[in-house]
Amino acid sequence: MADIQSPNRMGSGARVVKNAVGSFLAGAGWAIVLGSFVVQAHWVSLAPQTPDVPHGFVYRQNEHGSFTYFTAYQNAAHILMLFGGVALAILAVSALPKRHIVLTTTFISWNMRFEPDDPEGVRYRFMAVGVLAGTAAACGIDPSGLEWCFEQLRNLLRL
């Protein structure tokens, strides 16, 4: 077993930029992932139960045992939002500055522990801005879904 500790050699300006960009992209990535589920739920509520070839609804979606049919755009947009958002968030979090990094390796595994390196406190502010930008991007995929989302939220608040 080997422990490797890494010293922090990054300047203050570079650390602030990495925290700002990484936090923004992480927030946007997770907002896009959650937005993909909202957009898909809206599309499932509108999609036909049988294929509609003249209108392009030919890609079958299985929503808990109930089949609906999406267009090529809807199918591709949902998959790209889901997997692209996860990949964006994971890459952004891995790029964030870290301090007190301890990497423990064995023959068949490794473990990394660290603390965030954000003494300026910009991480949460830029993550909030990223969440807003990701939400706007998810709503831009299907603007009619925004009205549907607010309607669902009003129904939840009435309960």
Q: What DSSP string describes 48-61?
A: -SS-BGGGTB-EEE
Q: Is residue 123 part of a domain?
A: yes
The total number of structural domains in the chain stands at: 1
Structure confidence by residue, pLDDT tens digits, 35-80:
888 888 888 888 888 888 888 888 888 777 788 888 888 888 889 9
Specify whether the CB–CB gap between 122 and 19 falls below 8 A. yes
Residues contacting 62, CB < 8 A, separation 6+: none
154: its two tokens: 């009003």
Give the C-alpha separation, 159 to 67, whole Å. Answer: 29
Q: Is residue 4 part of a domain?
A: no
Specify whether the CB–CB gap between 29 and 85 falls below 8 A. yes
pLDDT surpasses 70 at 10: no
Specify whether the CB–CB gap between 134 and 141 falls below 8 A. no
Out of 9-13, 30-34, 144-148, give the one with best mean pLDDT: 30-34
Out of 2-11, 16-25, 81-90, 107-116, give the one with best mean pLDDT: 81-90
Q: What is the dihedral of CA 139, 44, 77, 125, to 10 degrees?
A: 40
Task: Supply the range of the domain harboring residue 104.
Answer: 13-158
Give the C-alpha separation, 24 to 141, whole Å. Answer: 20
Edge-first strand listing for the sheet containing 110-116: 2-6, 98-105, 110-116
Q: How high is the pLDDT of residue 11?
A: 58
